Structure 1
Amino acid sequence: MSDITQIRCEEGWLYLAVIIDLATRQVVGKAQGPVNSAELVIKALKQAWKKQKPDGRELMFHSDQGSQYHCMVTMAWLNKRKVTISMSRRGNCWDNACSESFFALLKKEWTRRLGLLTRKEMTEEIHFYITQYYHKVRQHTALGGLTPNAYAQQLNAA
Structure 2
Amino acid sequence: DITQVRCREGWQYLCVILDLYSRKVVGWATSRVNSADLVIRTLKKTWDARKPDGSRLLFHSDQGSQYRAKETISWLNNRQVTISMSRKGNCWDNACSESFFAQYKKEWMNNLNELSRSEMTVQSRFYIENYYNSVRMHGTLGNVSPMQYELMN
Give unmatched runs, 5+ long, in structure 2. Answer: none
User: Aligned pair 1:29/2:27, yes or no?
Assistant: yes
One-letter amino acid of the counterpart of residue 45, structure 1 = L
The aligned residue for residue 67 of structure 1 is: 65
Moved over 4 A (4+): none
Equivalent in 16, 34, 38 of residue 36 of structure 2? 38
Runs of 5+ consecutive residues of structure 1 not aligned to the other structure = none
- The TM-score normalised by the length of structure 1 is 0.96
C-alpha distance in 1 between matches for 2:137 and 2:143: 5
Give RMSD over aligned pairs: 0.5
TM-score, length-scaled by structure 2: 0.99
Distance in 1, Cα, partners of 2:78 & 2:133 = 30
Q: Which residue of 1 aligns with 2:144?
A: 146
The offset of 1:124, in angstroms, is 0.2
Question: Number of paired residues?
Answer: 153
Query: How far did 1:115 drift?
Result: 2.0
In structure 2, the residue matched to 1:12 is: 10
Q: CA deviation at 1:137?
A: 1.2
Partners of 1:121 and 1:71 lie apart in 2 by: 29
Deviations, residues 64-83 of structure 1 (Å, cap 9, x unaligned): 00000001000000000000
Deviation readout 1:11-66 (Å, 9 max, x if unpaired): 00010011111011111111101100000100000000011111011000000000
